[in-house]
Structure 1
Amino acid sequence: MQNTMLRNGLLLGLFALICTALVAAVNLMTKETIVEQQQQQLMNILHQIIPDTLHDNELSQTCTLLHAPESLGTTRPLPAYIAMKNGQPVGLAIEAVAPDGYNGEIQLIVGVRNDGTVLGVQTLSQQETPGLGDKIDSHKSNWVKSFAGMVYNSQNDKKWHVKKDGGDIDQFTGATITPRAFTKALRNALRYFEANKAAIYRQPLNCEVSK
């Protein structure tokens, strides 16, 4: 009886060891592919929100980390990708977080010129209610695309609120919390950029070093 239990225990242990080894092997083999896919997805997004005609550098290679919890919505350092033309910064793509979405954090990225003109906005991740709050996803609606061409500066800050709060930004029927949180995060990021662009451009390109 004891021999049978011992044998079964050894077999279970061996089975668990083999399964663990297989999972580790699969992770190792797919890790590089996953990184490449993530890099390609990032490149696609950056090209969508900052036109190629605006810069002559590789955006993913001119990345700096920003730590501004009150402005960017998280204690985590977030990347900003600097657009350069003839060696001079002309704008950047900056990530931000809306911590107060209806169902949790909303991660977004905005491309903006030095004069405050928004070049494009994309939602990076969200868990908002399907059919309502998930309209912040560009695959669900064109809402985020409506920000392109708008100009942010400290004088028109009040306009950068949803209409229910006295601003110019459209909200969703039956879902105000999500667009309000998204717009707040976007507004805060643009305000931060306006106040700190010179300092941001002086920062070291350190995203790769941080990994």
Structure 2
Amino acid sequence: MLNAMKKNGGILAIFAVASTALVALTNWVTQDTILEQQQLDLQKTLNQVIPKSMHDNQLYASCMLLPSQTTVTPNPMPAYLATKEGKPTAIAIETYAPDGYNGAIKIIVGLDMNGIITSSRVLAHNETPGLGDKIETRKTKWIFSFDNKTVTDDNQSEWAVRKDGGQFDQFTGATITPRAVVKAIKNTVVYFKENKETILNQPLNCGK
């Protein structure tokens, strides 16, 4: 009986080691492919928020980590600098809306050097399907309502959903989600305009 248990235990150990080795080998073989796909997906999104006509560099490779700002995000976040003939033309800043209905909403905001929004996209969220997920471009065109807008001293009150007296539509049955996104995008614009020189002097230290 004891010998049988030892034998079975040995067989299980061999299977465990073999399985671990197989997983490790699979990860090693596919890691370059996964990284390449991630870069392609990122480049596609970056080209959506910053038009190709505005840059001649590889955006995903021109990445910097911006210091944490409590008004935008509590953690350092990547930003991607667009240049044309070596001169900065725009920037795409990743940020979070911490107060979504079902948690944080990850967003990327494209801005030209005057702080005017070129476009924005939601990168990740857990909002309610059929309600809060209308922030996605595959659901509605709502996120495009920020295009070509900026924040000034005169229009601060307009940066809110209509229910709060602002210019942006809310969703029927889901005001919390768009309210959170509006606030996050506004804060990102303000952050860039107030810290432009510091941001442009950050080292490019997170691109692949």
TM-score range, shorter chain: over 0.9
Q: Which residue of 2 aligns with 1:22?
A: 22
CA deviation profile, 1:159-192 (whole Å, cap 9, x unmatched):
1111111211111000011111111111111110
Q: Which residue of 2 aligns with 1:11?
A: 11
CA deviation profile, 1:15-40 (whole Å, cap 9, x unmatched):
11111111111111111111111100
TM-score if structure 1 supplies the norm length? Answer: 0.93
Question: In structure 1, what is the Cα distance between the partners aligned to 2:101 and 2:24?
Answer: 36
TM-score if structure 2 supplies the norm length? Answer: 0.95
Q: Which residue of 1 aligns with 2:144?
A: 145
Q: What is the number of residues matched between the two proteins?
A: 208
Shift of 1:157: 2.0
Q: Which residue of 2 aligns with 1:188?
A: 187
Q: Which residue of 1 aligns with 2:45?
A: 45
8 A contact 1:63–1:82 mirrored in 2? yes
8 A contact 1:117–1:149 mirrored in 2? yes
Question: In structure 2, what is the Cα distance between the partners aligned to 1:207 and 1:154?
Answer: 33
Question: In structure 1, what is the Cα distance between the partners aligned to 2:194 and 2:163?
Answer: 27
- The runs of 5 or more residues in structure 1 that have no matched partner are none
Question: In structure 2, what is the Cα distance between the partners aligned to 1:109 and 1:176?
Answer: 21
Question: In structure 1, what is the Cα distance between the partners aligned to 2:153 and 2:90?
Answer: 17
Question: Percent of aligned positions with the same letter in both sequences?
Answer: 50
8 A contact 1:132–1:174 mirrored in 2? yes
8 A contact 1:154–1:191 mirrored in 2? no
Q: Does 1:35 align with 2:44?
A: no
Question: In structure 2, what is the Cα distance between the partners aligned to 1:68 and 1:51?
Answer: 27
8 A contact 2:108–2:120 mirrored in 1? yes
Task: Please tell me the root mean square deviation across aligned C-alpha atoms, in Å.
Answer: 1.4
